[in-house]
Structure 1
Amino acid sequence: MHQAFLFRRLLPLIALPLLSATQDHSLVDSAADAHLRAMFGQCIMVAAYSNGDAAHMDQLADWTRNGLVGGMIWMQGGPERQRQAINRLQKLAEQPLLMAQDAEWGAAMRLDSLSRLPWPLTLGATHDSALAWRYGQALGAESKSLGIHVNFSPVVDLNTNPNNPIIGQRAIGSNTKLVNAMSSAMIAGFHSEAVMACAKHFPGHGDSDSDSHKGLPRIAHDLNRLKALELNPFAHAVKAGVDAVMVAHLAVPAMDSTGTAASISKPIVSYWLRDSLGFEGLIFTDAMNMKGLTQDLSPGELEAQAFIAGNDILLFVADPQAAIDALVEAVHEGRISFSEVTERFQRVMAHKPPKHDASHAGMPPMDRKLMDNLSLAIAQGALTLMHDDGGIMEQSTYHVITMGNRAVASLADPGEPADGQAVALLHMADSKNPWQQAKLSADLLTASEAFQAAGHPVVLVQMGNPYGLRSLDLHRFDAVVLAYENTTFTRQAVLDMLELSPDQRTFPGRVPVNLGIHSTWSKASLSQMGLAENTLDRVNDIVMEGLNAGAYPGCQIFLARHGKQVINQAWGSLDGKLPTQVDDLYDVASLTKILATVPLLMQDHQTRGDGGLLTLTMEDLLPHLLGTAVGELSVKDVLAHQSGLPAWIPFFQDGLDSNGEWKANYLQSERSDSHPIQVAQHVYAGRHWPDSIQEQIASLTMLSQTYRYSDLGYYLFQRYLESKHGMGLDAIIASAWFEPMGIGMTYLPLDHGVDLMTIAPTEHDELFRKQVIRGTVHDPGAAIMGGVGGHAGLFAKASDVARMMQLYLDGGSYMGQSYVDEATLKAFTACVACEDGNRRGLGFDRPQEDGPGPTCGCVSPLSFGHTGFTGTFAWADPETGTVLVFLSNRVYPDADNWKISHMDIRTRIQEVVQQSVLN
């Protein structure tokens, strides 16, 4: 109803016939010009300052009376002055003015005497969408109480560039899954208060290294990368019902090859945002006075180009009269059609409130307790444990020291720490804006070293921008906790945490951006993570049953829920003598598929257009397969184990004669030029053998295309990846995944300095290698490949396997860095042929629908994982938020020991976990 009211005075204008571009110049008369000016005026938003002088207020009033503006963006001033000014201006306006404010963390961003909410990055560290909803609701309530209809929030830029000078802690995080979940909740929170949310800065300002307030940044990524990352949160915000989108001043050549700023680029605004994303809401330019836009264009022409590009509202226009003159002239020149003006005008008017409700005049000031309670909850939920060497955070008391340029001396404990007492060194940095780097001073580092030298472990609590730690080796401190900023509420959260007993002390937060530094698992109790308190006892009973029955010498189990470690324990021994430790390494066998080969194939897939890797055949990847039956197999079918490849080939038998002795051209006991490939201790394979394996696979005749688990395709995937990258599979996965993630999973552990006695032995191989296998891969085929296979060869501890599974559960991101996008993960973990009786995903195994299978039959259909021949198991369930890893060496000393399967050890443990989920 209010739209009819709004349009009534302008019905003569709307009823005018739509004029073509050629008619505009000749037929638009002065009356039509007046209507054009009225419509253009509604598309202009000027800056307003409630602390402005009388001349400024008179100027705003004059523009309002004359219909030269349709709204205002409120900048510096005070809350009550702003309310009063808005009320006066709304009374002067013939049509309601649309009032907006940049209040990303509250109106304190612009107004005096108000407290702010934590930075959006701190909110992101909580990974809690309920808190994000409250954040949006609080911002909406505050905006409404101040007469504001549009809050230019949330920032959905992915902060993937730590050198970004303008985004910083304004961003929620650097991975799409987190930003999408939190921003959607914020949008819903705004809507609960009937305030419009605006996603910014399209098409993504996060990876810029310059400030668009000072120049025109350039985003040089290709279109595939932009779609996967930068554009993804905007597409998600559109689906979440965001009311408005702000377009940035950025050059994005992949989207507009001319390098024109996005805010005045028709391909970017009209095609990518309006058409491709299907966005039907309001499109705002970023401020028209920013140097990234104003360097080459004159006032008036700047606004004309922004309107031509497809923007609805031109923000921060300095001279609305000049802008309207230029816009009307552009209509005369045929650069803007009358229909375009009408469409934009109608869209703007449809988003305005009714006249009688425009000022929120009757709204009381906001209850600030709402903001304060939320700020404390976020500060508590964001606390992140980066690492804890030796369990320092499990101590009972700490001697508190405060340092930094905003240190509060009264919070420090008096005197010196007691003998051996841990020191909590609070780095209290300047948090006056979200760009402060909060680097540690030389004095702080010296003080830390002095305390450690005196026998006091040091816990660094970073109360400031986490990027301030990027250049440091954090293990110079015994533990590191991130609090993200230095406010009354983070100080309270930190001190409360330190005063809690160790069994009550938790660190719910997870780093939302890539800091280039690594963390340990944050720990929580079973009950804190909504799991039954007797879970470990029940798991222990099953493990001990297997140990007593001789199902395995020892094992490790790691259980996490919602990203928090709840169990990390070892049982039994490695070899009947040495007790198993949680840091010992196991040969994980076929878990290698989903921990090494599949991650690299997923990355390969998402960099390709037109269906990616899954539309290709094997000969597309490996030209030497052209003309073969294997070459015609689809990559998708090979990954799903339904290509017709045989289950396996005993390649090792080629190296043995009829008496089971080594053939000299295949195997020798010393390394040489002809036999450089180490297969086991003092066993070396002929140089030709890996190529011979490739040839055997290439010459295969296919079996029926039904489900048949096969390793053979992974020999081919390994050859493809190594050919593409020009290095071994071990080096590729280490450089692309394991090293950036800071995990110790590795091929060839002995070559990387791992102590042999910390590696679980596998089989006593009397047939092929004539020895107990320890420190080299158990799988014979992978051994012939030099210990590096696409299907087997990795060694790991359970906690490192769990990191990869948690990354998958978190949508492809770890510690704020995206390794694979969520859409690709979903494609690979989904069932691709369930209707044909094949439960598998692409590389990943999935739960059986009924009967025997890899799981307990009690996990969700969304879950995924894999098992390994040596007695290993890794599974993630998005529905319960759990990651379960079981590693054992059930093949030691005899690979024919199948008690682990006959006793259902792994699946029974999984069943206990599923039954233990309380909420």
Structure 2
Amino acid sequence: MVRKISGFILAMFVVASTAQAQTSKDQWVDSVFRQMSLDDKIGQLFVVPVSGDIDKSDLDELSSKAGAGTLGGVVFTSMHNLKQAGIITQLQSASRYPLLIGLDGSSGPGIRLDSALAYPLPQVLGAVANDSLIFFMGNEMARHMKLMGIHLTFISANLAIQENRETNYSFGEDPLSVASKSLAFWNGLRSGGVLAGAKYFPIQGLRVTEVQKGVPNVQLTVDSAQAYPFKTLFKNHLPVLMPASAHLPMFYSEKKTAIKNLFTGSSLSAAFAGEWIREHMNYDGLMMVDVEKMMESPGTLSAGEAEIFAFQAGNDMLVTSANVASVIRKMKKMLRTQKEFLPQLDSSVRKILALKYDAGLSKKQQPTDHLHPKLVTTEARLLQHKIYKAAPTVIANQRNTLPIHSLENKTFTCIITGDSLKGTVFSERVSKYVQTKQLNVTERSDTVRLPETIQAQQQVLLVAVFPDTKEKTLLTLLPVLRESRINREVIICDFGSTIFRAYAHQFPAVITAYTDQPEMLEIMPQIIFGALPAEGVLPVAFGQIRAGTSTRTPALDRLSYSFPEDAGMDAKTLDKIEAIAQEAISTGATPGCQILIAKEGKVIYDRAFGYLTYEKQAPATDETIYDLASLTKVTATLQTTMFLYEKGLIDINKKASVYLPELRASNKKDFTLKDILTHQAGLWPFLPFWAHTMKDTTYLPEYYSHKLSPQYPLVIADHLYGSLAMKDSLWSWVVKARIREKPDRTPYDYRYSDMGFYILQHLAERMLNQPMDDFLSQNLYEPLGAYTTGYRPLLRFPIRQIAPTENDKLFRRSLLIGNVHDQGAAMHGGVAGHAGLFSTANDLAKLGQMLLQEGKYGGLQYYKPETVRLFTRRQFENSRRGLGWDKPTPGEWNGPTSMLASPKTFGHTGFTGTCMWVDPEFNVVYIFLSNRVHPDMTNNKLLSANIRSRIQDVVYQSIFNYCKTAESTPEKPVSAPADTFGRSQ
């Protein structure tokens, strides 16, 4: 009973509130209406089109008309910049009555306004399966328009059912889908406080014949499919409608109208459509007609006559650029002789005032300052990003090619047709996942040598087809691609080529983005490689592939690429990183560096600073490969140790001598693998083995040669090669090397050492029966897509891509570029357990992300989660170390990490000025790469200035600041309503 009473009270409250609002509206309309003269009333009918670049004299003249009360509103035909908000303010201030400000655009101000975000074209939106996104887009566009002072916009092309498949200005070709999305968009605009009208109601056929007293009899037919979205909006009380024109002859010559002669008037037919639509379509809104279009019709209508004609035909508002004062005089003259139109005038004016009330014009319009930051908000960018991500559509995936799972033993080629500049952007994004080369096909002649170029059997061809692709070029290329797919994977990436659509069904793997907007160039590679899912639905047929086709593909836990707020970080805070990086460069701490931050599996910061050398000849880029130094310990050797442990081939609690018998007779016979991994086995931190191979400044011939040969195969430096016996000698020196002294019956304390990783490399290669670099490449780096990560980069990459390290004047007597900086690693030919690995930040992040995801990446499980947890957690109370991994020192300012890092953080640093830290608590991977040892290894400014940890501080501050902003920003309770089909949007 209580529930029933509560429900009754609530219902009464809602009814009372509605009645109160209705009363307030009626009161305002009545009060304004009573103030109006006949001239004022007629003036309310007129809407003047205004260009966004209106000059001052025209603006002053328009302001004068508004001040005289001879304008009902203005409609902007274009918008370019924020100055137009000032134009609107001037017009409103000058006007006697509030002006209705309209925008003649279907995609909101962003498609025209330089300072606002541009949202996708209708066909892209038509591919978005979730209509809620379109609702929120409409709501966000309404917010933009209200800030600018705009009250009315038109959704026109959106409502059209696409028949010409060579355009992209429609939601699609299915009336139900178009109606649903149109309603979602319209509801979004309405919920944001902007009136959304519709244009071009589809008149299929119209005939006007004269009847009594000059009142025309209209016979009209419509396309039922094209009209369906309009009918849906009519049911929801569409406020404004502009009918389209029928291309049929009209015969009407009554003198009482403005038509004086017999003529054909395709545009004039729109003027007659209003009453028919009201009667036959149950439309109860305001009817607006474009008099400018009427004037284009053949005949003798002059300014004034056209407006009178349109008014007599039953329209409420008239878009005209004529001399309004002159038109008012002519209309007054008509009303004196035809008083039957006076009630129609009053009715139209009341409708117009009611519309203005709904637009909020009963209250004084306040100008908005500092518009740009209010237009381009974080929420707006996130919404735009979500929409673009939701649109790409896989329309063919016959062999489950997409997303690409395995990257091993494959080569990748991007074939670009059309716009080679945009194609380069696409290829660069592909290179974030795999090594690729780019082939441009702009002319038919470019296809001649293509079969020879793509001979490799295990080749994947990513064919990007752009809208400006020449038809002859494409038709020559397609047979080559059809032939190529026999032995290769061919993936067609359509960026809006209407020519290609007819041939899409001929290929087993096709994905379309519908447009070549920059956002799609970024997103498409992410979908292809499984960083993002494909969720779009085809809105129009692609040749034999029907509209509505959708093959959804999953994400594979690969890194995606986005912006800070998409991962819960504050971009403005991250801007502080640049100042710290520039400080490092300007103070000579390093010539250049690369900084990468990934959160929630998204790379949100990836920037290079400075140059490869202090001569500033070659800038550092995101493709620069750095010497990782001691990061090798955890990104190479430790990975083999984790593999051996997981396979049950080693027990970390057992002594290393169990697996390496030569240690049994040494001073290392009792060292356990766990103690070696945690740097508390008692090994000496570093021993200069290279000194054993020289006498004074002379290279001993049993170890070195200046010529590469089978006897001297190890590359030590340029023109310096090591003997085959070098590795055996090094191992014997390791076995015999001294260890630290300690009191009897006491354990060794923590002391960082390279020596343990010499032992672990030897153990790994013996247990695996394979060189460590080969094993890692085949089983880890290549499957991850970390193609720059590896030893001896000069075998795979040009020297210009590698950051130089020390100008070594003692041992190798040369500038080191691509040859490992560490002397001991160099004596191993560049492949060692403690140093020798090179990488870009992007590829190193893939390894870090795999470990953050507890061993899973790209659809593959590299390690069991419990293995990752074991190795990355702290092992002893008196030491911060994990198994191989370094850890934070909570509460200590001089620790290896930011003091803000969580206790779960694991990572490592490198002598050359590198670090990688993974924080599972905050889902963050932070990488800093530099060549601070160039040209002198004694340069410690990077360390003394805490550059790496200060940048890491900013990472956490960005997370905290974003959370504070999110908490302090009140959420606007906007929800997407159910549509007229009963479906939640």
Q: So what's the TM-score if we normalise by structure 2?
A: 0.44
**Structure of higher CA gyration radius:** 2
